[in-house]
């Protein structure tokens, strides 16, 4: 068992290292886009399914409350938390519309639409990003495998080249934390960062 545990940790580290090597410039671009949107008074809308829904909530909380430093709250909303909205859309229309309808209701030009899909193929995430683009929102896609339609649609695609859902999710939350920390630095000039 010990060897298998070590293997899992090593695999996670290797996938993260490959991801940052493949996506460093894209991560910098995402940090710039999120920072610019927040400076302009816009908000971040995050969404995904299952573990990605939990990641959306987790990252929204990091922006709204605080991350590492004390700073003012930043506007972020997880579109995965309002069960009445989600179930009414799913019941009256289709589960594929649960994010796009919310984006059409509360998204505005210049806001960030941050969709997460480990497969890159989640229909409701794809439709959410498509709706966001029609409004003039900046779109970010966190994906896995070959990136799928989410990566092809998003203005900024960060793809984890792996077929392991747990490893993809581990990278997604890590890069989400990195983005939060870098946005804090860019907005509030942390003196301990160079």
pLDDT tens profile 24-77 = 999 999 999 999 999 999 999 999 999 999 999 999 999 999 998 999 999 999
Per the prediction, the chain carries an average pLDDT of 96
Task: Quote the pLDDT of residue 190.
Answer: 62
State the pTM of this model. 0.95
Domain positions in the chain: 2-188
> Residue 107: CB partners within 8 Å, gap ≥ 6?
45, 113, 131, 132, 135, 137
Tell me the fold of 2-188. Rossmann fold (3.40.50)
Q: How many CB atoms lie within 10 A of CB 175?
A: 21
Encode pLDDT of 103-162 as tens digits.
999 999 999 999 999 999 999 999 999 999 999 999 999 999 999 999 999 999 999 999
Which stretches of 33-191 are assigned E, i.e. beta strand?
A: 44-48, 76-78, 112-117, 138-144, 156-160
């Amino acid at each position: 068992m010990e060897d298998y545990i070590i293997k899992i940790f090593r695999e996670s580290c290797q996938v993260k290292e490959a991801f940052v090597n493949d996506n460093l410039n894209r991560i910098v671009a995402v940090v710039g886009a999120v920072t610019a949107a927040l400076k302009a008074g816009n908000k971040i809308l995050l969404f995904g399914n299952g573990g990605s829904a939990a990641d959306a909530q987790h990252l929204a909380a990091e922006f709204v409350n605080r991350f590492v430093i004390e700073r003012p709250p930043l506007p972020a909303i997880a579109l995965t938390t309002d069960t009445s909205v989600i179930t009414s859309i799913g019941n009256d229309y289709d589960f594929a519309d649960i994010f796009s309808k919310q984006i059409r209701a509360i998204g505005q030009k210049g806001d960030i639409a941050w969709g997460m899909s480990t497969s890159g193929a989640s229909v409701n995430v794809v439709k959410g990003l498509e709706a966001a683009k029609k409004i003039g929102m900046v779109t970010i896609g966190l994906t896995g495998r070959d990136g799928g339609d989410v990566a092809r649609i998003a203005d900024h695609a960060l793809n984890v080249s792996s077929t392991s859902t747990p490893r993809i999710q581990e990278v997604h939350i890590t890069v989400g934390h990195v983005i939060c920390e870098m946005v804090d630095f860019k907005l509030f000039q942390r003196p301990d960062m160079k």
